[in-house]
Amino acid sequence: MFFEYAESIVELLANLIAVSICFFQFINRRSKYIVCATAIFLCGLLSSYYWTTYLLITGDTPVVSDWFYYSGWNTAYFILLILILLYKSKEELRYFHPLMLLPILPVTGQIILYLPYGGILNSVYEVLIFGVVLTMSIQSLCWYSKNKQNGVRFPYVALAAILLYITSSGMWVVTCFTGWVDNLYYPLSFLNSAVYIIIVWAVIRSEAGKVSPLSDQKNKKYRHTLKIAYAALVFVCCGGGLILGMWIKSIIEIGIENSSDSRVYDIITTVLFIISMFLSVSVVGIMTAVNLVGKMIENNEIREARIIADQSNRAKSEFLASMSHEIRTPINAIMGFNEIILRESSKAANDKPSDEDNKIFREISDHAGNIERAGENLLTIINDILDLSGIEAGKLKIVQAEYRLSSLLDDVSNMIGFKARAKALDFSVEVDDSIPDTLSGDEQRVKQIVINLLNNAVKYTDKGKIRLTVSCDEKAEFTKGQRIPLRFAVSDTGIGIRPEDMEKLFEKFERMDLARNSSVEGNGLGLAITKSLIAAMDGNIDVKSVYGEGSVFTAIIPQEILSCESIKEARSKAVPEKVRPEKAERPLYAPDAHILIVDDTPMNIKVATALLKPSKIHADTAPGGEEAIEMAKSVKYDVILMDQMMPKVDGTTALHRIREQEDGANRETPVICLTADAVNSEKYIEAGFTDYLAKPIVGDSLETILKKYLPADLIGDPET
């Protein structure tokens, strides 16, 4: 009887220790593997608890409790099978090895041995489920042996399951024999209990789940509280069950003669079973509470992280706006004065000085041209960074508006053609003449995409040709309102892209083949921005390249048709109006115009007035918002150029106060915002400005915007 007591107590303690370890691990690692392991030993606890408690109370094993006992472990075996399957990949589940047929012999032998002892259904189920566990465990070991060189994790749980099969099946097989073999039952039983702890170790060793939010230092008190609650629960259920069982037994002994032999004692088994169920359900309840608390903490952390991210984005936007202003302000002076140097040098050279002076002026023009190109490259880098930051902050806006595809392609062709000719490259544009000309979309973004792809082609092509092909995937007749996939294909005969670089082609700040392209200017942002812009317009981009021969970038951008008139028809109608571009290219000349320039930086005022010198426009200047407000009360201006970021009174405030002047002379005057904030420049239109001009201000853009808002009768012809 000693060994029977010892066997039951050891099994109970092993299950309690295993459940406790799993429970404490679950607090720190909320994963499906720990949950399965906990469920396995809760089912084992369900069986061993009331068996052991009944044995201690009555001194005998229950007669009707066999089903209770085996139901717990039979469920545990099934959950063990689920746990093993959870660790398998799809490829491993499909894998077969001849050793997987090995369990057929022991399973068949066990069923034959168990049948004479009754409980056929229970015996067949237990043997078959254990046989499947053994088969899946062998599969895991064979899979590891085949793939261990590929970093496959060792199947600790599968090995522990094989040990459980050996000890559990062995202890019941030896009871089918008599003699010395039967004496192996208790050693195998004790080993079987020890395997429970090995299974727990195997699960923890194989654990790949995430760490629970409750595992950090600030939630230490919650973990201790949960552990204390669990320990109290186990103590109350185990001790209380024992006391309750003895109390029931004493009542039965008083009321029934020879009660020790009575079947009425079986009520104790039912009560203990209910208590064990309560213990299991309570542990599950605590684990569920831990899971819910963990999710609440995770949600709070996500919410806090989102708030921090939003604050970070706002801070980044403010920083970029500030940096944009701080960088563009000096660049405005550099590029403005450089343009003046170019103008004056060209003018001086045209005045036919001596050959020596002419040579000096040409050298000055060359140097100024280099400064101009360097400034433009610097601006491109700044604009790319600002564009990317806006995209990452979710501030990218696609503005749908009517535009003409022919005009867009003309602009692109003129811009890229100049760069291609400078490198002696053959540049051509091929357009499907049937494509509708009037479309709805974001013209500036479409143009930016095409220019980015063409600039890339020019940069990485030293000889040969570059071709832009514009077509449409739709071959049927076009209808108004139809969305068509415009295809822009840019092909070149450049250096191409290596196959290993294709995957990182659209990543930020990535430049390919640096050893070969070290002299090529760029920041690695153009293609990343291009891909983001295309995705924002529900399009896609594809790349094909042969290293050393060239590349083809194909962007497909959906656009809406506003008129079915084709590009060919639109171009034919525009032929007689060729005189218009020539007129537009003439310099601004408005000697009767009167404007006000407001800027707190004296150098910016000098740049603006110097750029307007050839136009003969009369320009007043104000060093701040307060002075501008006073000047605008009495003097009527045709246009006001207003800097935004100024001390004391900024541009927006000055604008509103000028508009609010009751008898002011400039309540209706166009006010153009001069801003170095290229990130949020559109907001100035919303603030009430007529238009905006981004710094650095160059002569062409300044003249263009003045031509747009100066009264037409004030603009003259310098040749008349």
Say if residues 673 and 689 touch (Cβ distance below 8 Å).
yes
Q: How confident is the model at residue 304 (pLDDT cuts 50, 70, 90)?
A: confident
> Tens of pLDDT along 10-45?
887 887 788 878 777 776 666 788 888 888 887 877
Q: How confident is the model at residue 556 (pLDDT cuts 50, 70, 90)?
A: very high
Separation CA 454–CA 448 (nearest Å) = 10
Q: Supply angle C-alpha 689, 690, 693, rounded to 5.
A: 85
Q: Distance of CA 203 to CAs 200, 290, 292, Å?
A: 5, 20, 23
Q: State both tokens at 122.
A: 């229970």
Q: State both tokens at 77.
A: 């075996």
Say if residues 135 and 127 touch (Cβ distance below 8 Å).
no
- For residue 516, the model assigns a pLDDT of 46
Quote the percentage of the chain above a pLDDT of 70.
70
Separation CA 704–CA 369 (nearest Å) = 22
Say if residues 472 and 483 touch (Cβ distance below 8 Å).
no
Cβ partners under 8 Å of residue 240, min gap 6: 275
Any idea where the domains of the chain sit in the sequence? 2-307, 329-389, 401-577, 594-714
Separation CA 672–CA 639 (nearest Å) = 8
Give me the mean pLDDT over the 221-250 stretch. Answer: 64
- For residue 628, the model assigns a pLDDT of 92
What is the CB neighbour count within 10 angstroms for residue 376?
A: 13
End-to-end Cα spacing for the chain = 127
Give me the mean pLDDT over the 444-463 stretch. Answer: 87
DSSP 575-586: GGGTHHHHHHTS
Q: What is the mean pLDDT of the chain?
A: 77
> Tens of pLDDT along 274-283?
666 666 666 6
Collapsing DSSP to helix, strand or coil, 177 comes out as coil
What is the CB neighbour count within 10 angstroms for residue 411?
A: 14
Given a cut of 50, whether residue 235 has pLDDT beyond it is yes
Q: Based on the number of CB atoms within 10 Å of its own CB, is 455 exposed (0-12), middle (13-18) or buried (19 or more)?
A: middle
**Can you say whether the dihedral through the CA atoms of 138, 140, 141, 145 is positive or negative?**
positive
Q: State both tokens at 365.
A: 């023009």
DSSP 264-293: GGHHHHHHHHHHHHHHHHHHHHHHHHHHHH
Q: How confident is the model at residue 259 (pLDDT cuts 50, 70, 90)?
A: very low
Which residues face 438 on adjacent strands? 404
Given a cut of 60, whether residue 218 has pLDDT beyond it is no
Given a cut of 50, whether residue 545 has pLDDT beyond it is yes
Whole-angstrom Cα Rg for the chain: 42
Q: How confident is the model at residue 466 (pLDDT cuts 50, 70, 90)?
A: very high
Give me the mean pLDDT over the 533-562 stretch. Answer: 89
Q: State both tokens at 652.
A: 């927006």
Pick from 414, 473, 458, 432: nearest CA to 551: 458
Q: What is the dihedral of CA 26, 31, 37, 42, to 10 degrees?
A: 50
Least confident range of 377-386, 486-495, 694-703: 377-386
Q: How confident is the model at residue 135 (pLDDT cuts 50, 70, 90)?
A: very high
Q: State both tokens at 686.
A: 């919303």
Q: H or E stretch including 490?
A: strand 483-492
> Tens of pLDDT along 637-675?
999 999 988 888 889 999 999 998 888 888 889 999 988
Separation CA 120–CA 111 (nearest Å) = 9
Question: With b meaning 16 or more CB within 10 Å and e meaning fewer, what string describes 505-524?
Answer: bbeeebebeeeeeeeeebbe
Separation CA 46–CA 72 (nearest Å) = 6
Give me the mean pLDDT over the 517-541 stretch. Answer: 72
Separation CA 452–CA 527 (nearest Å) = 7
Which residues face 402 on adjacent strands? 440
Separation CA 303–CA 310 (nearest Å) = 11
Pick from 566, 561, 631, 620: nearest CA to 593: 620
- For residue 204, the model assigns a pLDDT of 84
Say if residues 408 and 570 touch (Cβ distance below 8 Å).
no
Given a cut of 80, whether residue 533 has pLDDT beyond it is yes
Given a cut of 60, whether residue 238 has pLDDT beyond it is yes
Q: Residue with structure tokens 């050279």?
A: 349
- For residue 518, the model assigns a pLDDT of 42
Least confident range of 221-235, 409-423, 479-493, 543-557: 221-235
- For residue 134, the model assigns a pLDDT of 92
CATH architecture of 594-714: 3-Layer(aba) Sandwich (3.40)
- Range from 225-234, 350-359, 577-586, 708-717 that averages highest in pLDDT: 708-717
Pick from 394, 211, 393, 208: nearest CA to 301: 211
- For residue 213, the model assigns a pLDDT of 45
Q: Based on the number of CB atoms within 10 Å of its own CB, is 43 exposed (0-12), middle (13-18) or buried (19 or more)?
A: buried
- For residue 584, the model assigns a pLDDT of 43
What is the CB neighbour count within 10 angstroms for residue 141?
A: 17
Q: How confident is the model at residue 598 (pLDDT cuts 50, 70, 90)?
A: very high
- CATH class label, 401-577: alpha beta
Separation CA 404–CA 436 (nearest Å) = 9
Q: Describe the chain by its helix, strand, coil percentages, rounded to 5.
A: 65, 10, 25
Say if residues 549 and 493 touch (Cβ distance below 8 Å).
yes
Least confident range of 176-180, 292-296, 508-512, 523-527: 508-512
The model's pTM is 0.46
> Tens of pLDDT along 35-83?
888 888 878 777 777 677 767 766 766 554 455 567 777 888 888 899 9
